[in-house]
Amino acid sequence: MRALLANPTPFLFFTGKGGVGKTSLSTAAALALADSGKRVLLVSTDAASNLDEILGVPLRNHAVSVPGAPGLSVLNIDPTAAAEAYRERVLAQVGPGASETERATIREELSGACTTEIAAFDEFVALLDGEASAYQHVIFDTAPTGHTLRLLSLPKAWSGFLEGNDRGASCLGPHSGLKTQEARFRRAMEALTAAARTTVVLVTLPERGPIAEADRTAAELSALGLTHQHLAINCVFHASLREDAVAVALEAAGQQAIAGLPPRLAALPRDQVPLRPFDTVGLAALRALLRDGPVAPEPAASAPASALPAEPLSALIDDLERAGHGLIMVMGKGGVGKTTVAAALASSLVQRGHPVHLTTTDPAAHLDATLAGQLPGLQVSRIDPAAETKRYVDHIMATRGRTLDEQGQALLREDLRSPCTEEVAVFHAFSRVISEARRAFVVLDTAPTGHSLLLIDATGAYHRQTLRDLPATINPQRVSTPLMRLQDPALTRVILVTLPETTPVSQAAALQEDLRRAHIEPAAWIVNRSLLASGTRDPLLRARLDGERRQISRIAERLSKRTFLLPWLPTPPVGLDALAALVGP
- Active-site positions read 19, 21-24, 46, 503
Could you tell me which residues come within 8 angstroms of residue 443 by beta carbon, excluding any fewer than 6 positions away? 328, 330, 342, 345, 346, 349, 356, 357, 358, 359
Say how many Å lie between the first and final Cα of the chain, rounded. Answer: 45
Instruction: Let me know if 243 is exposed, middle or buried by CB neighbors in 10 A (0-12, 13-18, 19+).
Output: exposed
**Dihedral of the alpha carbons of 310, 312, 317, 320, in degrees to the nearest 10:** -10
Residue type at position 176: S
Question: How crowded is residue 171: how many other Cβ atoms within 10 Å of its Cβ?
Answer: 24
Q: SS3 of 378, please?
A: strand
The answer to whether the CB of 191 falls within 8 A of the CB of 183 is no
Q: CA 496, CA 336: separation in Å to the nearest integer?
A: 10
Main-chain dihedrals φ then ψ at residue 565, nearest 5 degrees: -120, 130
- Looking at 68-178, list the stretches that DSSP marks H as alpha helix, in order from N- to C-terminal side: 79-94, 100-109, 113-126, 145-162
C-alpha triplet 67, 68, 70: angle, nearest 5° = 85
387 Cβ contact list (under 8 Å, min separation 6)? none
What are the φ/ψ torsions at residue 141 (nearest 5 degrees)? -95, 105
Give Cα separations from 554 to 53, 86, 285, 308 (angstroms).
Answer: 16, 39, 22, 11
Which residues, at least 6 apart from 348, have a Cβ–Cβ distance to it below 8 Å?
314, 317, 579, 580, 583
